Amino acid sequence: MGAVEQNYYAILGVAPEATPQEITTAFRKLALQYHPDVNPSEEAKERMPLLNEAYSVLGDAEQRRKYDTRKSDRRLVPIPTKSRLVVQRAGASVGVTRKMDVVLDGAVIGSLAMGGTISFLIEPGNHKLQFKLDLTSSPVQRFACAAGTTVAFACGAASLVEYLFRSVTAPENALFLQRVA
């Protein structure tokens, strides 16, 4: 896999339709700002070579034409259409030998062993998440996610004693559910 080519237009802060004069003006302005004699920062040391490289290509009509041709021949980068849901079973060791069901929008989408983590690709939008272990469950957690984002939750029992107590008094809240990202 080859190196990713820089977007020289973005580096100079000009549009692909920019005139040679606009490219030269943008380069000179940025060079004054990031030249090592004027700006001793690390950012300037990193940016100045990129500015020079971008200008050496876009400032030369033939090199610019070749760059634009290569750029237009590249495949488009795919735009993410899904979200990622990551869930982890955490907390006290209850039901160690049994798997905890992951319920998304009313349907079981997977099961977690003690200490396990799993990931799912889901449709972006509004969702309801819940975990179930035997006759107990977590509260329902509503969340929203956008395409290309990751949301993460941890679920389990705070302690064995609390789990046993809640499994009798409030089984629908025996497990905690917490968003972590």
Adjacent-strand bridge partners of 112: 100
Set out the domains of the chain in order of their start, with CATH numbers.
8-73 (1.10.287.110), 83-179 (2.60.40.1120)
24-63 pLDDT, tens per residue?
999 999 999 888 888 888 888 888 999 999 999 999 999 9
Query: Which of 98, 83, 13 has the alpha carbon at shortest distance from 47?
Result: 13
* pTM (two decimals): 0.55
Query: Cα 29 to chain center, whole Å?
Result: 34
Share of the chain above pLDDT 70, in %: 90
On the question of pLDDT at 77 being above 70, the answer is no
Bridge-based pairing of strands 83-91 and 107-112 is unpaired
